[in-house]
Structure 1
Amino acid sequence: MSKLLFGTAGIPLSTPPATNGDLQTIKGIQRVAELGLDCMELEFVKQVYLSKTNAEKVEKFASDANIALSAHAPYALNFNAREAQKIRMSQSYLFSAAEVAYICGAKSVVFHPAYYVGDTSEQAYRTVKTALAEVLEKMEDKGIDITLRPEVSGKSSQFGTIAEVANLCSELTNTMPCVDFAHWHARTGVYNSYKEFASVLDEISSILGKDALDNMHIHISGIEYTANGEKRHLPFEDSDIKYMELLQVLKDYNVGGIVICESPIMEEDALLLKHSFDGLALQG
């Protein structure tokens, strides 16, 4: 059976403050290990806050603790911006996140690709693909071997349907989707049942091949949403997300990779996911 790892979107809330010059990121990784979780996503969502020197320390600690790392690039990205300067800035932010995450030992960098800004899906797709290809070329030139993961988005104004993300990854090297099931539920108002969750995996495997299910990066939480899509993340118990049906699909499809919990009570709900999944696995 493929290995599925469970962890938090950022430093767990129960992590004690760092003292004596320690890095809070390392304290967070230590707390993840203490909780019995498997992975942590480094949240570079406002800025890439680690220096290269500190990133090397993070890599060593995470490796010794056997905690898998990924990262989330800054939110301020739009590879379909009207202004060329904003696209160049987005490329710079994503490259910086990839560079530091790679030094940290992370295998993936998640990012929000773009807004439509009045364009059709096809128009935005072409612009996003061109901009990302340039980032990937620079990464290859610099020896940065890390997977870029465009994320399934939660609002109808954002580029990032399942098909858009999967097709983009089929045409670019070193890319794979980040499938945020809460986002997709919020964006569509549906996709909240065993059959619908399974259809997402079927669509991904039909575009990228079944091997794509061996190396997934998944986001999940409860979510509040409107007709326009996501509003805010919620604990599972306060939402309508059918996480047990999702976990059953992940088990039945033998999915491998990383599951990051973005709940406001991140470690509690990450442990709920892990223990629930382990319970399903024991049932055979």
Structure 2
Amino acid sequence: MVNTKKLKLHDKLLFGTAGVPISSKKRSTVDGIARVRELGLDCMELEFVQGVKMGEKTAEEVNAVAAKENVALSVHGPYYINLNAVEPEKLTASVQRIYDSARIGNICSATNIVFHPAFYLKDDHKVVYDRVFNLLKELAKRLEDEDIPVTLRPETTGKATQFGDIDELLSISAEIDGVLPCIDFSHVHARDGKHNTYEEFKEIFEKIEKSLGKEGLKTMHCHISGIEYTAKGEKNHLILEESDMNYKDLMKVFKEFKACGTIICESPNIEDDALLMKKTYEAV
């Protein structure tokens, strides 16, 4: 079950953007947060995907404006992370990038630190699972010892070559305090071309509840977008209405299970699709 002591709990479902909204007149994080509030959205994910380049002073400014605008923040860590890297220096750098994301994110007031965890690299899946598990357990303990109260969110991945299907991440999350999954429903769908019907969405939510308890449904952090995929999995993000992503039934299941937390839109038109999902959810 989920240890909720460290979690910032929400009593509803928040909708927001992956990064600064496109319509923001200025491209700064601070201006992006203000624009999120102007749009009537509730949250924003800070995109540290090219590296953690934000300093502490800027992070403090971000914290202040997020509090003023009542916008919940999360972080997407760098793309260059592989907790199954062969080279020791790459492994060390991967852990450091997650740690840096957590440290700066915490100063910003971000509570969820999202990252793509690993590649299998043709290794046995159980071996990779154990490696990722041990590294995340060590890192979660370090963050706790340093009083950095964030939740590490390994993300469900969009290709079969990547570690991070739902079962793997739920298993890890059930065992390590300070770790919970980021459920990217588009990745889950692209991974095998399935998981895109009302019944299949219900099965995902039932899995979450079985592994993490009802608390797992009250502390969700999710990514949703349209997605293009092939037999090998994810190809690229699409606008929702230009894809086969069944977001309408997904919103119904969120409402049915009374899920709470945050939904981050990663479509190319981030704020438009975030608003579309929020409107759809509220109309259910």
Other-structure match for 2:5: none
Mapped to 2, the partners of 1:34 and 1:78 lie a distance apart of 37
Matching of residues 170-249 of structure 1 within 5 Å: 170-249=174-253
CA distance in 1 between counterparts of 2:51 and 2:196 reads: 33
Between the aligned partners of 1:136 and 1:169, the Cα distance in structure 2 is: 11
1:35-72 CA distance string (max 9 Å, x none): 00000000001111211111011001101100000110
Determine if contact 1:73/1:93 at 8 Å carries over to the other structure: yes
Q: Residue in 2 aligned with 1:156?
A: 160
**Do structure 1's residue 33 and structure 2's residue 37 form an aligned pair?**
yes
Tell me how far 1:121 sits from its aligned partner.
Answer: 1.7
Contact 2:14 2:43 in 1 (8 A): yes
- Distance in structure 2 (CA, Å) of the matches to 1:259 and 1:277: 11
Report SS of the residue matched to 1:82: coil
Distance in structure 1 (CA, Å) of the matches to 2:257 and 2:147: 34
**Alpha-carbon contact 2:30-2:65 (below 8 Å) kept:** yes
Give the residue type in structure 2 aligned to 1:230.
E
- Say if 2:119 is the partner of 1:110: no
Residues 44 and 97 in structure 1, CA contact (< 8 A), matched pair in contact too? yes
- The equivalences for 1:119-158 within 5 A come to 119-158=123-162
Alpha-carbon offset, residue 2 of structure 1: 4.1
Q: How many matched pairs?
A: 275
- Distance apart, 1:173 and its partner CA: 1.3
Whole-angstrom CA distance in 1 between matches of 2:155 and 2:209: 16
SS of the residue 2:121 aligns to: coil
Q: Which amino acid aligns with 1:130?
A: N
Whether 1:274 aligns to 2:278 is yes
Give TM-score scaled by structure 2 length: 0.95
Shift of the alpha carbon at 1:133? Answer: 1.8
Matched-pair contact (CA < 8 Å) for 2:26–2:32: no
Q: Which amino acid aligns with 2:82?
A: N
Contact 2:197/2:249 (8 A) holds in 1: yes
- Aligned mates of 1:139, 1:87 — CA distance in 2: 18
1:17 to 15, 23, 26: 26
Q: How does 1:88-99 map to 2 (within 5 A)?
A: 88-99=92-103
Distance in 2, matches of 1:249 and 1:121, equals 31
SS at match of 2:25: coil
Counterpart residue number, 2:55: 51
Partner of 1:5: 14
The aligned amino acid for 1:15 is S
Please give the per-residue CA displacement for 1:240-259, whole angstroms capped at 9, x wherever unaligned: 01100000000000000000
Q: Secondary structure of 1:271's match?
A: helix
Q: 1:85 aligns with which of 74, 82, 89?
A: 89
Q: What's the RMSD between the two structures over aligned residues?
A: 1.1
Q: Secondary structure at the match of 2:78?
A: coil
Within 1, Cα distance between the matches of 2:200 and 2:11? 22
Deviates more, 1:124-133 or 1:96-105: 124-133
* Paired letter, 2:17: T
Structure 2 SS opposite 1:267: helix
Please state whether the residue corresponding to 1:167 is helix, strand or coil. helix
Whole-Å separation in 2 of the counterparts to 1:105 and 1:2 = 18
> Unaligned regions of 5+ residues in structure 1, if any?
19-23
How far apart in 2 are the matches of 1:34 and 1:252? 29
| Identity level (%) | 47
Secondary structure at 1:177 match in 2? coil
One-letter amino acid matched to 1:240: D
Residue 2 of structure 1 contacts residue 254 of structure 1 at CA under 8 Å; is this kept in 2? Answer: no
The residue identity in structure 2 corresponding to 1:170 is A
